[in-house]
Structure 1
Amino acid sequence: MSIYSNILAVADVNRDEQVALARAAKLAAHSRSRSQLTFFLSIYDFSYDMTSMLSSEERDAMRQGVISQREQWMRTIAQPYLSDDFDLHIKVVWHNRPYEAIIHEVFEGHHDIVIKGTRKHDLLESVLFTPTDWHLLRKCPTPVALVKNAHWPQGANIIASVHVGSELETHQDLNDRMVEQAMSMSERLNATPYLVNAYPATPANIAIELPEFDPSAYSDAIRGHHLTSMKALRQKHGIAEEHTLVEQGLPEEVIPKAASSLNAGICVIGTTGRTGLSAVFLGNTAEQVIDKIGCDILALKPEGFVSPLAPN
């Protein structure tokens, strides 16, 4: 948790409680080095750009007036979070695409994490993400934390959704990063880290097409491989066996269930940042998990990920 020293907290003009600011302030206060916290807002009103009777200078003045009003509102909101432990800055920009404004600020301000509030659907106990959330998960170069509650749940733990069955170096490196993040946050928040992995069930069509195929032996082999891989990962990072969980099933079913049973306050998850047609038609396993999980999310990209919005 101490690795985050330049934090970007995104304001939400539609909520009285600024959950991102509250969580960001807690993160900044627990850093080993002095942190910088930027409370950020992107605003836009189409009508200010369509007032043809005004000159460009007059329109700029009107926009600046709106920005100044929002800055004053944010200073008032941020007052309870001021601390001698970190420096807090206010920044408001005029931009018609909030996710682009946030990512541009990440590059410009050299921030190392984005924290943003998200919504919870009370009926289904799941998270409802906005288009801005999805764009950040796919395109933001830094870790993205999506939070629902201003205060850390009492007695909550932290889980890392690892993919131990893969032999791809990208997945293995991402597993290490997720475990390290979970352990670091657990230390700062006095929580227990858990590693959770889902492995696939035996495809039904194989047993039908190959009569000599033994589905039970195949399932045992797959489970054995995942258990062995999980053991190697937990031993590498010094995590006890009882703090690991390997379950058969789809990740979007196993991970949310585990988060609930383990009283997770945060789930650390890896996302490939898929964009374009592949994102539309193929989706993203991480995003399917995120869509169903009931706790906060910390999404990490693979090492070397390049944002499509990176400056040239």
Structure 2
Amino acid sequence: MSLYQRLLLIINPVLRHSPAVSHAASLAKACGASLHITALIPSFKWLSLLEEGDRILARERYLQDHRDWLESQAESVRGRGIEVTTQVAWAEDLKQDIIDHVTDMQPDLLIKEIDHASRLKRAFFTPLDWHLLRHCSAPVYLMGNTGLNLPGRVVAAVEVSDVESAGDELNEQIIKQACNLAMQCNAELHLLYACDISADFLADMDGLTLADLTKALRRDLEKSFLRLADQFGVPADRRHFIDGHPVKVLCEFADEHNVDVIVMGRVQSKGLNKLLGSTTEHILYQAPCCVLAV
């Protein structure tokens, strides 16, 4: 049985040519899951300029137009044998409204298109998708440049350590989610670790040079990575231990190998990292694919 039995798709109904509904429906079909589509509409400030009666009528007409459109989309999806329900509502606080929907519905997966926030905006405000990565209780599937088809290649991006037990639980969750998604979609599963050994964390010790320490640490990390790959039976040609910064490595790998989904872990950011964003958060704006954060 798939991990995903109840899927929640959040959409912006203004973007009617988006592939979000079709892509989510394909995932639901592959997993044998039900799909609930919620269209959240930010309130229009100009409505407050209207008289109360006109304002109520305008709001209702606008909602009804989107309800009719979404229901037509749902009927098309139901024709594929998928259980679909819909909802259209105003959003006074989009970040909190999405979290509330997840809390109420308890889906196995939240699906949403990536909002590409500029660097300037990210410097002053926490982007919506970053907020969801930090506070959503369900795994978050954020759609990037994707078509209507199911994923064909899934990458589990793990974080290994030279200490055997460090990060094991999160790695297991990442690989479990990636395996499940790949299995349901009949996709290839790859395991990847970006080895970024920074000189900031190394120093001469007991007569060893920095180069010696770097090689030793890299060797220990690679052993941990191979041990993890062996544990989950990942074939040798689908194991990727690559030197470099994680964001750069993952983006280049995704581009070169036509990756459809990167599965990553979510770590609660603190201090400066909360302002700058985590690796997973920055991947959203650079990787040419979807991101599943667990």
Report TM bin, short chain.
0.7 to 0.9
Is 1:106–1:112's contact at 8 Å kept on the other side of the alignment?
no
Correspondence for 2:193 = 197
Runs of 4+ in 1 over 6 A off after TM superposition: none
The alignment's TM-score, normalised by the length of structure 1, stands at 0.80
Aligned-pair Cα RMSD in Å: 2.9
Instruction: Letter of the 1:114 partner, please give it.
Output: L
Alignment of 1:236-247 (within 5 A): 236-247=231-242
Rounded Cα–Cα distance in structure 2 between residues aligned with 1:184 and 1:211: 46
Aligned with residue 68 of structure 1, among 58, 64, 67: 64
Alignment of 1:146-161 (within 5 A): 146-147=142-143, 148-152=145-149, 156-161=152-157
TM-fit CA distance, 1:158: 0.8
Rounded Cα–Cα distance in structure 1 between residues aligned with 2:197 and 2:273: 25
Q: Which moved more, 1:169-178 or 1:248-257?
A: 169-178
Alignment of 1:1-312 (within 5 A): 2-32=2-32, 35-43=33-41, 44-51=43-50, 53-54=51-52, 59-60=55-56, 62-83=58-79, 85-118=81-114, 131-147=127-143, 148-152=145-149, 156-165=152-161, 167=163, 171-203=167-199, 212-274=207-269, 278-280=273-275, 282-300=276-294
Rounded Cα–Cα distance in structure 1 between residues aligned with 2:166 and 2:17: 38
Using the aligned pairs only, state the percent identity: 24
Query: Aligned to 2:83, what secondary structure does the other structure show?
Result: strand
Structure 2: any 5+ residue segments left out of the alignment?
118-125
TM-fit CA distance, 1:131: 2.7
Query: Aligned to 1:294, what secondary structure does the other structure show?
Result: coil
Structure 1: any 5+ residue segments left out of the alignment?
122-129, 301-312
Number of residue pairs matched by the alignment: 284
The alignment's TM-score, normalised by the length of structure 2, stands at 0.84
TM-fit CA distance, 1:205: 9.2
TM-fit CA distance, 1:290: 3.1
Is 2:162–2:217's contact at 8 Å kept on the other side of the alignment?
no
Q: Which moved more, 1:255-264 or 1:244-253?
A: 255-264
Instruction: Letter of the 2:146 partner, please give it.
Output: N
* CA deviation vs aligned residue, 1:133-171 (integer Å, no higher than 9, x gap): 2222222111111113232378x4110110012749673
TM-fit CA distance, 1:37: 0.8
Query: Aligned to 1:292, what secondary structure does the other structure show?
Result: coil
Instruction: Letter of the 1:26 partner, please give it.
Output: S
* CA deviation vs aligned residue, 1:197-240 (integer Å, no higher than 9, x gap): 11223517966x77944233212211211111112211221112
Rounded Cα–Cα distance in structure 2 between residues aligned with 1:36 and 1:158: 22
TM-fit CA distance, 1:30: 1.5
* Change over 3 Å in CA distance of 1:153–1:24 after alignment to 2: closer
